[in-house]
C-alpha cells in the first residue's frame, strides 16, 4: 500500500488521501498517512490540542475504511519529524505521550515514528528511518541491523514488543532540487546511482539481514529526490517490477 503525506483536515493532501481510498475500493490495496500536521507550514506552531484533533479526524474519518492500512486489526499511522512536536516546557516524548493519551489511550492503533531514538518507543509502537543514503553517509543502510538491535533491546528491557521497519530505496538524486528550505530541514545535495537495480538489491539485502517486521519503500513517486519506483520514461516499469520481486522474497522470508 501507499503512505501518503497528510497535513490537515480539508487541506489538499487530505483531499488526495480521500481520493486514494476511493480509488482503491473493491481491491485489497490499503494505504495510510504520513502524519505532518505538527510541521504544516500552513499553520505553524500548532498546539498539542491541534495535533490531537487532527489525529482524531484521521481515525474517525478514514480508519474504518477497508482500504485504510490495518495490521492485526489495528489501523496504522506513520509519523515524521517527531522531535518537532509542539512543546510547552516539556520534552517531545512527553508531548507525544500527552497527545496519544487524548487520541488513543488504549493503544488501539499502531503508531510508527521516524528516527533512531529508542526513547520514543515509550509512546510509539515502532521505528523506521526514512533516508538511508546521504551525501555524508551514502551507505547508511548498512546500519540496519544496528538500528534494529536498538529497537529489540528496548523491547526486551521493557517487556513491550515493538516493531522495526527497514527502508529500501532504488537510488537517490536531488542534485537539481536546489535543496531549498521547505517543510523539512534540507540536507546536502546527494546522488546515489541506481546501478541498474543493484543498489536497490543492496538496500534490500541489508534490510533482510536486520530481520525487519515490515519493509518501507522510499518511494513510489518522490521525483524531486529521485527515489521513485513509479513507471517513468527513463526506467520504464523496471523498478515497479523489481519491487514486486523483492516483496515476494520478503513475504517468503516471513
DSSP codes of every residue in 128-157? E-S----SS-TTGGGGHHHHHHHHHHHHHH
Instruction: Tell me the pLDDT band of 120, cut-offs 50, 70 and 90.
Output: very high
- Tens of pLDDT, residue by residue over 194-251, are 999 999 999 999 999 999 999 999 999 999 999 999 999 999 999 999 999 999 999 9
C-alpha 11/C-alpha 245 separation (Å) is: 35
- Tens of pLDDT, residue by residue over 63-113, are 999 999 999 999 999 999 999 887 767 899 999 999 999 999 999 999 999
Question: 40 pLDDT exceeds 90?
Answer: no
Question: 126 pLDDT exceeds 80?
Answer: yes
- C-alpha cell of 20? 486514494
pLDDT of 187: 75
Averaged pLDDT, 39-65: 93
Structural domains in the chain plus CATH codes: 1-128 (3.20.20.80), 166-254 (no CATH)
pLDDT of 177: 80
Q: Which of 88-102, 116-130, 170-184 has the highest mean pLDDT?
A: 116-130
pLDDT of 86: 75
Between 25-29, 108-112, 135-139, 192-196, the lowest mean confidence (pLDDT) is in: 135-139
pTM, 2 dp: 0.95
Averaged pLDDT, 137-160: 97
- Using DSSP, state whether 254 is helix, strand or coil: coil
Question: 24 pLDDT exceeds 80?
Answer: yes
pLDDT of 184: 56
pLDDT of 181: 53
- Burial tier of 181 (Cβ tally within 10 Å: 0-12, 13-18, 19+): exposed
Interhelix angle for 144-158 vs 198-209, to 10°? Answer: 20
β-bridge partners, 76: 110
Averaged pLDDT, 121-143: 96
C-alpha 63/C-alpha 96 separation (Å) is: 20
Number of H helices, E strands in the chain: 6, 10
Question: 58 pLDDT exceeds 70?
Answer: yes
**Average pLDDT value for the chain:** 94
> What are residue 167's phi and psi, to 5 degrees?
-100, 135
Q: Which residue has the higher pLDDT, 13 or 224?
A: 13
Amino acid at each position: 500500500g501507499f503512505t501518503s503525506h497528510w497535513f490537515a483536515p480539508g487541506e489538499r493532501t487530505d483531499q488526495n488521501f480521500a481520493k486514494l481510498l476511493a480509488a482503491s475500493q473493491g481491491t485489497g490495496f490499503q494505504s495510510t498517512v504520513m502524519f505532518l500536521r505538527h510541521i504544516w507550514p500552513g499553520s505553524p506552531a500548532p498546539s498539542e490540542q491541534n495535533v490531537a484533533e487532527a489525529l482524531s479526524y484521521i481515525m474517525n474519518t478514514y480508519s474504518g475504511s477497508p482500504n485504510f492500512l490495518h495490521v492485526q486489526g489495528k489501523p496504522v499511522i506513520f509519523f515524521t519529524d517527531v522531535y518537532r512536536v509542539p512543546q510547552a516546557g516539556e520534552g517531545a516524548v512527553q508531548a507525544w505521550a500527552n497527545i496519544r493519551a487524548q487520541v488513543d489511550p488504549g493503544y488501539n492503533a499502531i503508531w510508527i515514528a521516524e528516527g533512531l531514538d529508542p526513547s520514543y518507543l515509550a509512546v510509539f509502537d515502532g521505528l523506521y528511518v526514512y533516508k538511508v543514503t546521504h551525501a555524508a553517509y551514502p551507505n547508511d543502510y548498512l546500519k540496519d541491523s544496528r538500528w534494529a538491535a536498538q529497537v529489540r533491546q528496548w523491547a526486551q528491557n521493557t517487556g513491550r514488543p515493538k516493531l522495526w521497519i527497514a527502508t529500501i530505496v532504488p537510488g537517490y538524486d536531488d542534485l537539481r532540487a536546489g535543496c531549498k528550505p521547505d517543510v523539512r530541514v534540507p540536507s546536502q545535495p546527494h546522488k546515489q546511482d541506481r546501478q541498474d537495480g543493484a543498489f536497490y538489491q543492496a538496500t534490500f539485502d541489508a534490510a533482510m539481514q536486520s530481520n525487519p517486521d515490515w519493509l518501507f519503500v522510499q518511494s513510489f513517486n518522490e521525483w524531486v529526490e529521485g527515489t521513485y519506483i513509479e513507471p517513468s520514461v527513463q526506467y520504464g516499469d523496471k523498478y515497479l517490477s523489481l519491487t514486486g520481486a523483492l516483496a515476494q522474497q520478503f513475504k517468503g522470508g516471513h
